[in-house]
Structure 1
Amino acid sequence: MAPLEALLYGGWVIRRQFLEHAKAVARFAPVRPSAKAGLRAALAFFVPTVVGSALNLPGGLWLAVGGFNTSFVDKGGSYHARFRAMGGTAVAAAAAAVLGSLAGMHPALAIPAALLWVTAWSFAGVYGAAANLTGNIAATTFVIALALPADSALGALESGAALLGGAAWAMVLSLVLWPIRPYRPARKAVAACFDAVADYAEAMSRVAQAGLEDTWQALMQEQHGRIRETLELARTTLTATRQGRGERGRGERLLVLLEGADAMFMGLIALGEDLESLGPPVSGPVADPRAAVAVALLDCANTARDLVRLVQVEGHSRRPRPEWDGRAVRDALTDLDARGLVTRLERARLLDVARLLTEMRERADVALDTACRLPGPPTAGMPPPARELAEEASPSLLEPVRAHLTLGSEVLRHALRVGLTTTAAVWIASVFRPNHGYWVTLTVLTVMQPYTGPTFLKALQRVLGTVVGGLLAIAVASWLQDPHALMALLFCTAALCVSLIPLNYGLFTVFATLTFVLLAEMGSGDWTLATVRIVNTLIGGALALAGTFFLWQRSEEERFPTQMAEALRADREFFAVLSAAWQRGEPPAGAALAEVRRKLGLATINAETSFQRLLNEPRWRTEALEPLMTLLAFTRRFAAVCTLLASRRSVPTTPAVREALERYARAMDGAMEDLADAVLHGRRPRPLPSLDALIGWNVPTPDAAGAALAAEAPLLQSQLERLGRQLSVLHAAATRRLEAAPLSTPEVQPSALNGP
C-alpha cells in the first residue's frame, strides 16, 4: 500500500472508530428507567443530609455517603441476598472510612495504604459481581477518607459510625419500609421468563406467516441469548430465595414453573427449526399449515401472558383453558395429502410440527395448574420438579484467591492496574493539591473496567457526561441560589441519576455531576466548582486510559478465540449427549441433557459478550468481522438443530440405522473438536469428512446404512443433513478468519448472516 493510500485508509479507520464509539456512548439500553430505585436512593441520600445539617451532627457527609452507596448496592433479588449484600458493603465501607481517615493523618502512609487497600478490594471480584461492587465502594470510600482526614482517632471512628448510620437508614428504607415478601423477587423473575417466551412466540408467528428464510436468523440472534439470560437470572434468584427455608410448597411450585418456561423455550427453538425447513406458504383453495401454526403460536403467546399474570398476582384465579395444539396442523396436512400436494419428507416435518405444538400445550397445562395453586397449601398430584435447584457446593473461602494468584488471571491483572493507577492519582493529589483532588481518584476507580473496550466507552461517557453536567451546574448556579429551592432540585436530580443508570451511564454522569457539584457549592460557598469537576474528571479519565493501555493490557482479540472455542466445544458436547442416547437405542432425556443445554447457552452468551467488547475496543485497523459474526451466528444455529433432534421421542434401532448414526456421530465429534482447536490456536481447520455420504443424503448410490436411514427415518436424515450444513458454514468461517483482509466497506452486509 502506498504511503498516501495508507494515510487515507488510516484516516478512514479512525473516523469509523470515532463514529462507532459515538454511537455506543449515545446508545440507550432497551429497558425502562428504574424510578423506584431512583426515589429510594434520593431518600437514602437526602434524609441523612438534611437530618445531619439540622441537628449539626458530626460526620454529616459520611451519613449521606453511607446512605447513597448502600442504596446503590440494592440490585434486587431475594431479601436474604439483598440484606447480605447491603450489610456487607456497609461494614466494608465503614472500615474504609476509619482506616482512610487514619492514614490521611499521616501523608507518608497515604500512598502505600492506597496501593494495598485499593488493590485488595479490586481483587474481590474473584468472588463475583456483588463482591466486585462492594470492593469498588470500599475503595472509593477509602480514597475520599484519605482526602478528608480526621483530626484524631476518635474523629475517624465517628466517620465510620456515621457511615454505618446512613447505611442502616438505607437498609431500613429498602428492606422494611417497602413490604417484605420473600418470594416476590422470585415470582417476578419467573414471570419474566414466561413474558420472554410470549414475546418469542409472537415473533415466530409473524415470521412463520411471512415465510422468509432470512428472518429466522435475525430472530434467533435477537431472542435466544436474551431468554437464556432471563432463565439464568430466575434460576439464581429462586435458589437464593429458597436457601435456608423450611417450607417447600411455594418454592417447589416456582421451580416447576421455571422448568415449564425453559421447556416451552426449548419447544419453540425446535419448532422454529422445523418451520424454517418448510417450503413457501401454500396458495390456493387449500388449508395452509403455516397459517395454522401462526395461529397456534399466537395462542401460545397468550397462554404465556396468562402465566405471567398468574405468577405475578399470586392469587386464586380462574384457570384459563387454552384451545391450541397440533390438531389444526394435522387437519391442514390431511387436506394437502389428499390433494397430493405434499412430499413424504414434508409430511414428516409437518407431523413433527404438530407433535411439538401438542407437547408445548401439555407443558403449558402443567404450568397453568401449578400457577393457579401457587399461593395455596400443598396439593396431591402436583408434578414434582424434574431437577432440584440445589445450592451448589460452596468452595472454601481461599480457593478462588489461590486460583487467581497468577498474572494470567484477568481479575489479578485488573486489580493491579486499578491499584497502581489509583495510587498515581493519590500521589498527584498529594503533590499538586488540586481543589477537590479526590474527584480525580474517583474518576479512575469508576472508569477502569477489567476489559479495554468497556473502559474506553465508560471514559467517554464519564467525560462527556461530566462536561454536560458541569455546564448545567454553572447555568443553575447563576440563577438559582435559594437553599430550599436548590435542595428540592437536587432531590429530583439525585433520583434521576440513579433511575437512568439502566438506560445509559452517560446520563447518570450528567445528573450525578449536577447533583454533587451543586451540593459541594452549597456547602463551601464556592460557585466555581463545576470547572474544577470537569478538569479533575479529564485528568482522572486520562490516567484511567493510560493505566488500561500500558499495564498488562490484553486485547479482546486475544480473549475471543478462547470464548468462541468454548462455545464450539459446548455444541460438540450437546451433540455427544444426543448420539450417546441414540447408541443406547433411547430418546435423549434427563438431567444430563438439561445441564449440557444450559452450559451451551452460557458459553454462547460469553462468546457474544466477548465479541461485543471487541467491537468497543479502540483499534487502529478494522478487522474483517464477518467471519467472527458468522461463527457466533451458526454456533446458535447448530445448537438449535441439536435442540430439535433432542425433542425426538423415538429413534430407529435397526442395526443398519444404528451403524449410520454411530459413524456420523464419530465424524461430527472429530470435526467439531478440530474446529474448536483451530479457532483457539488460529490455524486452518482440517478438511471436513463427507457427512452427507455417511447418512446417504443426496448420494446416487448410498451404502446399506445410509439407505436404511433414508427408508426408516427420512426426517431424522434430513435433520442430520441440516446439522452438517451448519458445520460446513462454521468451517468456512473459521477458514476465512485466517485469510481475512481489512474490511473494504464500513458496514458488514446483512447477507453474511443468512443461513444456507
Structure 2
Amino acid sequence: MTPARFRASDLIGWSAAPPDYEAGLRAATATIVPLLLGELTGRPQLIWVALGGWLATFADPGGPYPLRASALLGFALAGGASALAGGLWGAHPWLSIAALFLWAAGCALLRVYGDAAGSIGSLALIAFAISLGSPAPLEICALRGLFFGAGTLWAAAMALALWPLHPYRPVRAAVSACHLAVAAHMRELAASPPSWAQSEKAMRNRSAIRRSLETARGILASVRSARRGETRRGELLVALYEAAELAMGDMAALSEALQWREQMPPWLSRALREATEAFEWSARVVAEEQSAPLAPPDPPSEDGELGALAQRLVSHARLAVEAAAALQGGSPGPQGAFALDTRAARRSLRDALSFRSLELQHALRVATTCAAAALVGMLSHRPRWYWIVVTAVIVLQPHSGATLRRAMQRTFGTVAGAMLGALLAPVTHTPGRAALVLFALAIVAVALRKQSHAIYAALVTPLFVLMAESTSGDWHLTWTRVSSTLLGGGLALVGAYAFWPARERELLPGQIAALLRKVRAYLSSALAGAPSEQARREAGLLLANADAAFERFLDEPHRDDEVEALMGLKAAARRLIGAIASLSAAPGELHHAGEQLSDALESLAAASEARQAPPPLPPLPRTPQTERLVRPVEVIHSALSRFLQ
C-alpha cells in the first residue's frame, strides 16, 4: 500500500461493499415524509421531526433487536435533550461556547460504553449544535425536543417493526459456503487412501477452500466496518469463520503427515467423518436452514503426530458446532476461544478518565475543536454558523490520518454537491417537486454511504440546504455551506494534529504486543494461585484501547484480510482474559501447560513488536482443562500471522 495510492483513492474513498438501497429507501421515508407534511400543512417546526428521523438512521447499530431498540430509544432521549438544551443555551452567545465545550466532551465520552454509544453521542452533539444556532424560548425548545424525539421513534418503528433489514445475510451465505467447502474436502479425504491427500484433486479442493475463505473474509470485514455496534452475532460469525480457517490449516498438516502412510487409520477416517458432519451441520445452521441439534464431536484418544493433528481438527469442528448452535439460539455459545463472557474486558468510566485513555483524549479534542468552530462562526457573523461545528464533528476522527481523509472527502463531496444543487434548482420550485428530488437524493446518499463518504456528502449537500431553508428552489445558502465545510474541515485537521496525532498502522503492532504481555502477566498471576486484580484491570484497559485502535484502523487504507485478522485477534484475546479469570479454582493442575502458553504469548508479543510473522507454535497440551486456554492462543497466532504477513 503506497502513499500515492493512499492520496489518490482517498479523494473518493470507494469501497467494494454493495449499495444498500433498502436502507436508503427507509431513511428517505423517515426524513422526507415529515418534511413534506410540514411544507403542506404550514408547520415548519416539523423539520425537527425530519432531522430526528434522518439522524436516527445512523444511530441504528444493527444486530440483535434488543441492542437496536435500546440504542434508538437512547438516541431519542439524548437527541431530544440536546435539541432542547441547545436552543436554550443559544440565547446566551458567549456562555453557549462553554456549554458546547462541556456538551461535546460528555457526548464524546460516551464512547467508553461502546461504539454504539459513541455514535449516539456524536449524533446527539450534532443535534445540540444545530439547535444552538437557533435559539428560542423554553416552550418552543421543549416542543423542538419532543419533535426530534418523535422523528427518532418514527425511524425506529420502521427499522424494528415495519421495515427491518438483514445486513448479515451475505455474511451468513459466505461463511456457510466456507464450511461446505471444508466439509466436502474432509469427506473425500476420509474416504480415500493417504496418497489422495497430495493429489491434484485435493490441491484443487484446498484452492477452492482458500478462495471461499477469502470471499467470506472480505464480506465479513466490509459489513463489520459499516456496523460498529454488533456484539454477539458479529463475534459468532467471526468464530465460525475462524473455525473454517483453522480447519483448513489442520487439513494441510494432515495431508503432509499422511503422505508417508500406506493406509488411512480407521480411527482417523471416523474422526474425519464426524468433523465433516459437524461442518455440514454448521453450514446449514448459518444459512438459516432448519436443522436438529447436533452434539459436538468427541476428539480421538490416539497419540502420536496423527492423533495430535486429529484432535486439533476435531477441536475446531467443535468450535463450529458450538458457535452455530449459539447463532441458532440453542446454546450459550463456544466455551473456548469465543466464549461470550466479557467481564474481564468491561470498560469503566474510571479507566476512561485516565489521561492514558484514548477516549478522554478524543473527548478533549472534540470539545476544543467544537468550541473553536462555534467561536469562529460567531465572530464572523456567518449565517448558519452551526454548519461549521457540524462539519468539524463529522470530519474529526479519533485518529489524525483518518481525519485528513475524511476532510478531503467531505470537502470534495460538498463542492460537488454545490454544483449538483445548482443543476437541480430549476426543477425544485414547488414542494412536491422538491420532495421528489430530495427523496431520490436521500435514497442514493444512504445507499452509497458505505461506498464513499465523498459521494454521500455530494448528495446530502443540496438535501440539507433545502431542509435548512424549508423553501423550494432557494440555493443562496449553497456557497455558505461550501465555505462552512472548508472552515469546519480545516479546524478539525488542526484539532486532529494538535492533540495526540498518530497513525494507527504504525502503533498497532506495539499495542498488540503490550496487550499480549499484559495478558501473559495476568495468566502468570492466576497460575501462581493469586490472580492479580490490577493485572486483570490493566489487561481490560489495554483491550478497550485495542478496540478503539481497531476502529481507527478501519478509517485508514487497509486490506480486508487485515481487518478480519484483527477482529479474530481481538475476540480471541477477550476470550483468553475470560478463560484466565476462571482458573483461580484449580490452577495447580494447569501449571505446566500454563508455562508453555506463557512462553507462547511472549513469543507472539515479541513478533508483533518486531513486526514479523510469529514462529510456529510448539505442541500445546490439549485436555479438557487446557482447551479454554489453548484455543485462544491458536487463534491469536493464526490472526497475527495473517496481519503481519
TM-score (norm 1): 0.60
Cα separation, 1, equivalents of 2:240 and 2:403:
38
| Matching of residue 307 in structure 1 with residue 285 in structure 2 | yes
Residues 421 and 194 of structure 1: CA distance in aligned 2, closer, same or farther (over 3 Å): closer
Instruction: Find the aligned partners of 1:357 and 1:287 in 2 and give their Cα distance.
Output: 25
TM-aligned CA deviation for residue 400 of structure 1: 3.0
Structural mapping, 1:87-486, within 5 Å: 87-150=73-136, 152-178=137-163, 195-201=173-179, 209-210=202-203, 236-237=231-232, 268-277=244-253, 303-310=281-288, 363=321, 400-478=348-426, 481-486=429-434
TM-aligned CA deviation for residue 541 of structure 1: 0.7
Confirm or deny: 8 A CA contact 1:41 1:71 kept in the other structure.
yes
Question: Could you say if the C-alpha distance between residues 611 and 218 of structure 1 is closer, same or farther in structure 2, counting changes exceeding 3 Å?
Answer: farther
Structure 1 residue 491, shift from structure 2 partner: 0.7
CA contact (8 A) 1:278 1:349 kept: no
The 1-side partners of 2:472 and 2:228 are apart by 45
Give, in angstroms, the shift of residue 23 of structure 1.
2.2
**What corresponds to 2:452 in structure 1?**
504
Equivalents in 2 of 1:514, 1:543: separation in Å?
A: 23
Query: Is contact 1:211-1:281 (8 Å) kept?
Result: no
CA displacement, residues 560-608 of structure 1 (integer Å, 9 cap, x when unaligned)? 244221564489699999x99xxxxxxxxxxxxxx9xxx9xx8998599
Amino acid in the other structure paired with 2:480: V
CA distance in 2, matches of 1:389, 1:357: 14
Q: Identify if the C-alpha distance between structure 1 residues 109 and 224 changes in structure 2 by more than 3 Å, giving closer, same or farther.
A: same
Q: Give 1:446 shift.
A: 0.6
Distance change >3 Å, CA 516–CA 279, structure 1 → 2: same
Write the distance in 2 (CA, Å) between the matches of 1:50 and 1:461: 30
- Structural mapping, 1:21-32, within 5 Å: 21-32=7-18
1:450 is paired with a residue whose SS is coil
Q: Check 1:68–1:564 CA distance in 2 against 1; reply closer, same or farther (3 A cut).
A: same
Q: What is the Cα deviation at residue 139 of structure 1?
A: 1.3
Deviation, structure 1 residue 417: 1.2
**Alignment equivalent of 1:609, drawn from 540, 544, 550:** 550
**C-alpha separation in 1, matches of 2:467 and 2:45:** 16
SS at match of 2:449: coil
3-state SS, counterpart of residue 348 of structure 2: helix
CA–CA distance in 1 between the matches of 2:392 and 2:502? 19
Contact 2:56-2:152 at 8 Å conserved across structures: yes
- Aligned residues of 1:458 and 1:505 also touching (Cα < 8 A): yes
Aligned-residue CA RMSD in angstroms?
6.1
Relative to 1, partners in 2 of residues 1:301 and 1:678: Cα closer, same or farther, differing over 3 Å? closer
Q: Distance in 2 between matches of 1:407 and 1:569?
A: 21
Inter-CA distance 614–74: structure 2 relative to 1 (3 Å threshold): closer
1:442: how far off?
Answer: 0.9
Distance change (3 Å), C-alpha of 1:48 and 1:395: farther
Q: Which residue of 2 aligns with 1:516?
A: 464
Q: Per the alignment, do residues 385 and 107 of structure 1 end up closer, same or farther by CA in structure 2, a change over 3 Å counting?
A: closer
Aligned to 2:586: none
Larger radius of gyration: 1
- Between the aligned partners of 1:137 and 1:115, the Cα distance in structure 2 is 15
Alpha carbons of structure 1 residues 206 and 539: separation in structure 2 relative to 1, 3 Å: farther
Cα deviation per residue 1:508-527 (whole Å; 9 max; x = unaligned)?
Answer: 22221232234446627533
Q: Secondary structure at the match of 1:523?
A: coil
CA change 1:225–1:126 in 2 (3 A) is: farther
Task: Quote the Cα distance in structure 1 between the aligned partners of 2:108 and 2:84.
Answer: 19
Structure 2 residue aligned with 1:329: none
- Which digits, 9 at most, give the CA deviation of each residue in 1:195-224, with x for residues without a partner? 454233356578983379999999878867
Q: Distance in 1 between matches of 2:418 and 2:233?
A: 43
Could you say what secondary structure the match of 1:59 adopts?
helix
How far off its partner does 1:162 sit?
A: 2.6
Q: Which runs of 5+ in 1 are unaligned?
A: 1-12, 240-257, 312-316, 327-343, 375-381, 581-594, 618-624, 647-660, 696-708, 710-719, 734-749
CA deviation after TM superposition for structure 1 residue 556, in Å: 3.1
User: Quick check: 1:115–1:419 contact (8 Å CA) kept in 2?
Assistant: yes
Q: Distance in 1 between matches of 2:599 and 2:312?
A: 31
Residues 1:669 and 2:610 are matched in the alignment: no
Structure 2 CA distance for aligned equivalents of residues 462 and 143 of structure 1: 18
Letter of the 2:107 counterpart: W
The one-character-per-residue Cα deviations of 1:301-346 (angstroms, maximum 9, x if unpaired) are 76444324545xxxxx68699xxx99xxxxxxxxxxxxxxxxx988
Distance 1:401 1:499 in 2: 35
Give 1:673's aligned amino acid. E
Give yes or no for contact 1:567–1:603 (8 Å, CA) kept in 2: no
| Structure 1 residue 444: Cα displacement | 0.2
Q: Which amino acid aligns with 1:419?
A: A
8 A Cα contact 1:557 1:614, kept in partner: no
TM-score for both structures, normalised by structure 2: 0.69
Inter-partner Cα distance in structure 2 for 1:481 and 1:18: 44
For residues 345 and 149 of structure 1, the distance between their equivalents in structure 2, rounded to whole angstroms, comes to 77
Match of 1:331 in 2: none
Distance (Å, rounded) in 2 between the aligned partners of 1:751 and 1:430:
47
Tell me the number of residue pairs that the alignment of Structure 1 and Structure 2 aligns: 583
Residue pairs, 1:647-658, within 5 angstroms: none
CA distance in 1, matches of 2:89, 2:483: 26
State how far apart, in whole Å, the 2-side matches of 1:604 and 1:297 are.
Answer: 37
Equivalent of 1:37 in 7, 23, 32: 23
Aligned residues of 2:83 and 2:131 also touching (Cα < 8 A): yes
Give distance in 1, aligned partners of 2:466 and 2:150: 24
Report how far residue 542 of structure 1 moved. Answer: 0.9
- The change in CA–CA distance for 1:513 and 1:352 in structure 2 (over 3 A counts) is same
In 1: Cα distance, 2:340 partner to 2:594 partner: 33
Measure the CA separation in 1 of the matches of 2:288 and 2:406.
40
CA contact (8 A) 1:93 1:163 kept: yes
Asked if 1 retains the 8 angstrom alpha-carbon contact of 2:38 and 2:46, the reply is yes
CA contact (8 A) 1:101 1:146 kept: yes
Deviation at 1:287, TM superposition (A): 10
Contact 1:281/1:288, CA 8 A, preserved across alignment: no
Aligned CA distance change for structure 1 residues 220 and 443 (closer, same or farther; 3 Å): same
- How far did 1:92 drift? 2.0
How far apart, CA to CA, are the structure 2 residues paired with 1:308 and 1:221? 18
Q: Which runs of 5+ in 2 are unaligned?
A: 187-196, 528-535, 580-589, 622-629
CA distance in 2, matches of 1:53, 1:416: 40
Match runs of 1:682-693 below 5 Å: none
Tell me which residue corresponds to 1:46: 32
Percent same amino acid among aligned pairs? 27
Instruction: Measure how far apart 1:543 and its partner are.
Output: 0.8
- How far apart, in 1, do the equivalents of 2:40 and 2:107 lie? 35
Q: What is the letter of the counterpart of residue 272 of structure 1?
A: M
1:622 maps to what in 2?
none
User: Which amino acid in structure 2 is aligned with residue 457 of structure 1?
Assistant: R
Report the Cα distance in structure 1 between the residues aligned to 2:430 and 2:212, rounded to whole angstroms.
54
